[in-house]
Amino acid sequence: MTARSVALPSNIWPPLIAALLLVGMWQGLASLTEGMFVFAGPVEVLGAIAGEGSLLLRSAGVTLQSAALGFAIGNGMAVVLAGLALALPRLERLISGLALVFFCLPFVATGPVLRVIFGVGEGPQVTLAALATYYTTYLCLLVGLRATPASWLDLVRSYGRGRFSELIHVRASASLPYFIAGLQIGAPAAFLGAMVGEFTGAERGLGVLSIRAMRGLEVDMTWAIATIAAAISAVAFWFFGWLGRRLGAGPPPLLLSPRREERKSLGFGALDLTLVVIAVLGLWIGLMQAFNLSPFFAKRPQDVLSFLVADAANRDVLLDAFWQTMSLTVPGYLAGLALGAGLAVVLVTQPRLAAAALPLAIALRSIPIVTTAPLFVLALGRGPAGTITIVAVMIFFPTLAACLEGMRRTPKAVLDLFATYAASPMQRLIHAQLPAMAPAFLASTRMAVPSALLAATTAEWLATGTGMGSLMALTASTSNYNLLWSAIMVLAVTASLLYALVRLLERHVLKTFASEQLAT
């Protein structure tokens, strides 16, 4: 039937055939470009894995261990934060704001700083893995804990039970699907965090091997490492999906949709913003004092301020780098969003293709693209094209998966209605599927902001030698810590502000396109 255009595949053949085609194309491309030191096909990758098997296995084990530890800590933090936000509704905006700012810290800079603090060992890897994980889980939990149908809560109250029973019996189980979804998104992110942590100068792990292979132009090895990282992430993503289904928690209604604002329609007010800024500064100073960090590398807000105010040259260096980075991030970000949503629209008008593509897109979105950044550097050189491509690819797969999923959730009754008027596929797309896609597209637009900056700065750091990424790498090695902390502040503030801006836009649009989702 035409009405049910994007039903789930009834068997596994279409995605399997698509995957085989993809592997075939990969091998074909590799054969065509032989001698260019760019592509290594599946055969070469398998060869590299066989040749360096024990080293790769050991390194993957090290990285996986850091990722798992960080994953556990990050999700623990998310549960605590969400619990706090639920218990103290007045503080929710403050907690959410702080959580966002810490999530937006640029890994490229926090990595080296953490390296100085922790010294050798896996401290930075674990910390970055935790930082990469906690925010999405926190958001999912927050939506989940509030998604409880009011009638369930009334049921608990009708037995005279209090808020605690409410939490145990109702809210916890109602939020389980959301929690699982958070874990699912977080698992590949934790692996990414651990690998970026290793980029900062660990002794062992896949990240270390990856940098070494890229610098030595070992094409087969670089591809082998990226393949292993992708495979581990995909398995982790799949595992939590399976766990969710096992526990009877299907995918939640809509992921990461911001909840309805009871008091004001426009998100953050000036008061909330001031509170968050004060809290960030307080934590910044407080944590440094508490851990007794040396003022030589642990710069306080006042140091950053005087550094930026004292010398215009400092500001110019920072601003130059900032604009360089933004000039690569913004085109990549927009291209990734447009290509993801565009391909989703094309696929949805080709139902068979979409059935094959959805599982593939979901599998591919779990790949931590940043860990494959060395590949793009090999393929596209160290110019702006490479960085823009990394940013675009980083955003492309999550957007594609979210948009396909969003359109798949077009209410079936609405599609039936269109069938009773024999509506054309174009009418169906414009009047039903695109509006149904809007909330998912906007959610991924928002979540893509920090990822885009992460991808751009990582590429700059590893390869291009321009922009904030390179600046931060440079200042870390020349011990210009004032500049490093200024860069961290500028990037975190930029990411947080852009994120908040997109969320504002999202709320505005959601009010129209998904009022029923805001109402729940």
Residues that bind other proteins (CB under 8 A): 1, 3, 411, 413-414, 416-423, 427, 431-432, 435, 438, 512-516, 518-519
CB nearer to other proteins: give 292 or 512. Answer: 512
Cα–Cα separations (whole angstroms), residue 212 to 81, 206, 222, 247? 38, 10, 9, 42
Quote the least distance from Cβ 424 to other proteins, whole Å.
Answer: 9
Task: Dump the DSSP string for 294-346.
Answer: -TTTS--HHHHHHHHHH-HHHHHHHHHHHHHHHHHHHHHHHHHHHHHHHHHHH
Please count the other Cβ atoms lying within 10 Å of the Cβ belonging to residue 80.
Answer: 12
Quote the least distance from Cβ 509 to other proteins, whole Å.
Answer: 10
Residues sharing a CB contact under 8 Å with residue 135, sequence separation 6 or more, in sequence order: 78, 99, 100, 102, 103
Torsion of CA 55, 59, 65, 68, to 10 degrees: -120
127/66 Cα distance (integer angstroms): 9
CB nearer to other proteins: give 292 or 420. Answer: 420
The dihedrals phi and psi of 276, each to the nearest 5 degrees, come to -65, -45
CB nearer to other proteins: give 163 or 245. Answer: 245
Quote the least distance from Cβ 406 to other proteins, whole Å.
Answer: 13
Quote the least distance from Cβ 1 to other proteins, whole Å.
Answer: 7
Quote the least distance from Cβ 140 to other proteins, whole Å.
Answer: 23
Quote the least distance from Cβ 435 to other proteins, whole Å.
Answer: 5
CB nearer to other proteins: give 34 or 416. Answer: 416
- Residue 395 structure tokens: 């955003």
CB nearer to other proteins: give 54 or 420. Answer: 420
Torsion of CA 73, 79, 80, 82, to 10 degrees: 140
Helices (H), 13-52: 13-32, 42-51
CB nearer to other proteins: give 309 or 430. Answer: 430
* Positive or negative: CA dihedral 279, 283, 284, 285: positive
Diameter over CA atoms, the chain: 75
485/190 Cα distance (integer angstroms): 24
**Amino acid (1-letter code) at residue 437:** M
CB nearer to other proteins: give 243 or 430. Answer: 430
Quote the least distance from Cβ 403 to other proteins, whole Å.
Answer: 16
CB nearer to other proteins: give 227 or 410. Answer: 410
CB nearer to other proteins: give 5 or 127. Answer: 5
Residues sharing a CB contact under 8 Å with residue 45, sequence separation 6 or more, in sequence order: 220, 223, 224, 227
CB nearer to other proteins: give 11 or 54. Answer: 11
449/399 Cα distance (integer angstroms): 12
CB nearer to other proteins: give 274 or 515. Answer: 515
Quote the least distance from Cβ 412 to other proteins, whole Å.
Answer: 9
The dihedrals phi and psi of 177, each to the nearest 5 degrees, come to -60, -35
Quote the least distance from Cβ 137 to other proteins, whole Å.
Answer: 28
Please give the helix or strand (H or E) that residue 243 lies within, else none: helix 219-246
Please count the other Cβ atoms lying within 10 Å of the Cβ belonging to residue 53.
Answer: 10
Cα–Cα separations (whole angstroms), residue 404 to 17, 100, 350, 390, 506? 19, 27, 12, 22, 18
Quote the least distance from Cβ 413 to other proteins, whole Å.
Answer: 4
312-317, long-range: CB < 8 A, 24+ apart: 314/482, 314/483, 314/486, 317/471, 317/483
Quote the least distance from Cβ 512 to other proteins, whole Å.
Answer: 6
